[in-house]
A and B are shown apart, each in its own frame.
Chain A
Amino acid sequence: MFTDAPNFDIRNYLRMEMMPHFLCPGCGHGMALRALLWALHELDIDKDKLAVVSGIGCAGRLSAYIDANTFHTTHGRPLAYATGLALARPDLHVVVISGDGDCLAIGGNHLIHACRRNLKLTCLMLNNEIYGMTGGQVSPTTSETRLTTTTPLGNTEPNFDACALATAAGAGFVGREVTRHVPKLKELIKAGLQHPGFAFVEVLSDCTEVYGRKNDMGSSAEMVMRQKSEMRPSVYRDSVDTPFRSTDLPTGILTRNDRPEYGASLRRAAALASKGAH
């Protein structure tokens, strides 16, 4: 499956002493992690200068496996921690890993303001439509009618289109990809990492254990195959009869602009102030 990565040895970017990892078999988050590490490798980002800031959840746990400066913070707040870190240390490459609950529910306010500020950060939101870590409760991205432990009658709340939200809030770079296409996801993350402002990358991931099981979605392999047929890069969309997520979500780079980057603007204003007044 990954034969097009001849020079990439994932072990160089992992803390091998932390293996075995804690993810359930087939969890999509592992594929997202692979894509991220592959992107970092191809961009030759110095591990010593890389800071990974994560929130709380199965997604948030990934930072501990990455051989970099890693910060596992509090639920919903990784973007706020990362904002302080990136402003204090513009020499670092700061990547945030968050989940759909972490980023859109408890941390939603931080997300929209991070997009608005457009500080150079790369935020990966691993969207599995569920609160995986706490055992499968409904999240802001759970599709309508889905069963979760807190929607035993089927979800009746509409869900978020996180990329539309990030675009509206002003993010400089917004994109979405499925874990099924690891090389494509890697390319998207690479583009995000190279973007000079705030980059929001939504990864459509699968929680096999508590979401897939509850909704009879079959084995993890079947869930991933379903992404291929039903989770539509926009060009394939016509062939999809029954999308398994309620919103018809496009993938790829969805927004890219050159709005001024916040950290640079701040430093420019400070330099002027120091020169002018005393």
Chain B
Amino acid sequence: MNVVDTRRAKPAAKLLSGNAACAAGAIAAGCKFFAGYPITPSSEIAERLATLLPRNNGVFVQMEDEIAAMAAVIGASMGGVKALTATSGPGFSLKQENIGYAAGAEIPCVIVNVMRGGPSTGMPTRPSQADIMQSRYGSHGDYPIIVLAPASAREIYDETIRAFDLAEICRSPVVLLYDQVIAQSSETVALGAAPAAHAERKRASGPRETYKPFAVGADGIPAMARPGDGYRTHTTGLTHGEDGFPTQNPEAVDRNLSRLFTKLDHHRELIDSWETVRCDDADVVIVAIGISARAAKRAVELCRAEGKRVGLFRPITLWPFPEAALREAVKTARAVLVPELNLGQLRHEVERLLGRDRVEGINLINGEPIGPAQIAARASQLASEA
């Protein structure tokens, strides 16, 4: 879906940080369970939900570490409840094994990773965008995952709601990935009314004898049994057949693992989201997410004021990457510029899709954000060469 603001006009504006907007979005989405472990710069999400959840018929628990937090979130979701965890770099690393479990066993859940400088403990209070690849490929084995990359407090609110909806509809873990600047800066945000209806996972129905936990129809999404509803199913991280029990039968394994990918393919209309700014006639298109995209947006204005034809393509859904939209956005562009707070992770994907000839990066890993002037200067140069 291309990004269109469908919210009702003029709700009261509030001063909110990105993390506060995330907590508000979780409540609006019907989240009833949070398990976490404190880590800068994500802790405000947990702190807010520790207050909000008990007042909204939900459960907040601070676990002994991030591994336990991820496990508890999956456990809650296996019980039929919408569940969230939030963390940053080191904690995101610890969650990876169980994120893979959620992907393989198809347990809906939402994971926030507020990126900070790495590797290791890195720079806890400085921004980074260096988990782009980890968010996609962090757990072992081949598995698909949905990653959303909002760029403002308001968008964090909307994307948190969408993350829960996608997790439920696609029976998949969904990662919300944003950086320390938008997590902790306060912005004036007009939150829309909470959605009246939430997406809910497809629930098992019909007689137990004919229900197969991983049998699917055309949309590729199996209906999920809820403990207590009489289906008494088995859930495992081992490769499993349609009956949910472990199997190493090559055909059954291939069918089920391949379906994990095709089920997302069937829902690309819902999953894909991006923003384009003046790409129609652009000689240069900047591709960026999060705080770098906000600087890039300003850079587009600066370049346009000089008469340079520069545009911006901003993936809001980062994974699966909205490749068709990117190809469309760069149709007239002779150069593509990818500013990011890492050594070229987003560029790597852009190059994979467009080839290396016309793509270059601006990369910063010292804990500072990239400013509009720096992006504008290079984009303008490229536009002149183009």
Residues of A within 8 A of B (CB): 15, 18, 47-49, 51, 53, 63-64, 67-74, 77, 80-89, 91-92, 109-110, 113, 266, 269-270, 273-274, 277-278
Contact = CB atoms under 8 A, between A and B. Distances in A.
B229 to A, nearest CB: 8
A48 B233 CA distance: 10
B138 interface: no
Contacts of B201: none
A84 B237 contact: no
Given A83-B63, A83-B68, A53 B228 contact: no
Given A64-B246, A70-B234, A81-B75, A109 B68 contact: yes
B328 interface: no
Contact of A113 (B68, B73, B74): B68
A71 B67 contact: no
Contacts of B64: 109-110, 113
Contact of B228 (A49, A63, A70, A82): A49
27 contacts: A15-B234, A18-B245, A51-B227, A53-B75, A68-B232, A69-B225, A69-B231, A72-B234, A72-B237, A73-B75, A74-B98, A77-B71, A80-B69, A81-B72, A81-B75, A83-B71, A84-B35, A85-B227, A87-B76, A88-B33, A88-B76, A92-B227, A110-B68, A113-B63, A266-B54, A270-B59, A278-B55
B72 A87 contact: yes
A88 B32 contact: yes
B183 to A, nearest CB: 25
Q: Which of A18, A69, A74 has the most CB of B within 10 A?
A: A69
List 6 tightest A-B contacts by C-beta distance, closest first: A84-B75, A84-B72, A80-B71, A270-B54, A69-B227, A88-B76
B71 A273 contact: no
Q: Size band of the B side of the interface?
A: 35 or more
B75 A88 contact: yes
Interface of B: 32-33, 35, 54-55, 57, 59, 61, 63-65, 67-69, 71-81, 83, 97-98, 101, 225, 227-238, 245-246
A138 to B, nearest CB: 23
A84 B101 contact: no
A80 B78 contact: no
Nearest to A53: B75
Contact of B54 (A49, A51, A81, A274): A274
Contacts of A80: 63, 67-69, 71-72, 75
Contacts of B55: 270, 273-274, 277-278
A27 to B, nearest CB: 18
A110 B64 CA distance: 7
A277 B35 CA distance: 23
B234 A84 contact: no
Given A83-B61, A92-B227, A270-B54, A71 B72 contact: no
A69 B232 contact: yes
Contacts of B228: 48-49, 69, 89, 91-92
Contacts, number: 140
A85 B245 contact: no
Nearest to B246: A64
B367 to A, nearest CB: 31
Nearest to A71: B235
B245 A71 contact: no
Contact of A85 (B54, B76, B101, B237): B76
A82 B236 contact: no
A74 B141 CA distance: 15
Nearest to A69: B227
Given A269-B54, A273-B55, A84 B79 contact: yes
A84 B236 contact: no
A162 B238 CA distance: 28
B71 A73 contact: yes
A73 B76 CA distance: 13
A74 B237 contact: yes
Given A63-B234, A69-B225, A89-B80, 6 more contacts: A51-B227, A69-B228, A88-B81, A89-B81, A92-B228, A273-B54
A232 to B, nearest CB: 34
Contacts of A86: 75
A77 B75 CA distance: 10
Contacts of B237: 72-74
Contact of B78 (A47, A81, A87, A269): A81
Nearest to B234: A70
A89 B233 CA distance: 16
Contact of A71 (B73, B78, B238): B78
Nearest to A67: B232
Contact of B59 (A15, A87, A110): A87
Contacts of B59: 87-88, 266, 270
Contacts of B57: 274
A77 B235 contact: no
B38 to A, nearest CB: 15
A82 B246 CA distance: 21
Contacts of A91: 228
Contacts of B236: 64, 71-72
A136 B246 CA distance: 23
Nearest to B56: A274
A69 B229 CA distance: 10
Nearest to A262: B61
A47 B231 CA distance: 10
B78 A85 contact: yes
Contacts of A269: 54
Contacts of B73: 84
A88 B54 CA distance: 12
Nearest to B238: A72
Contacts of A274: 54-55, 57
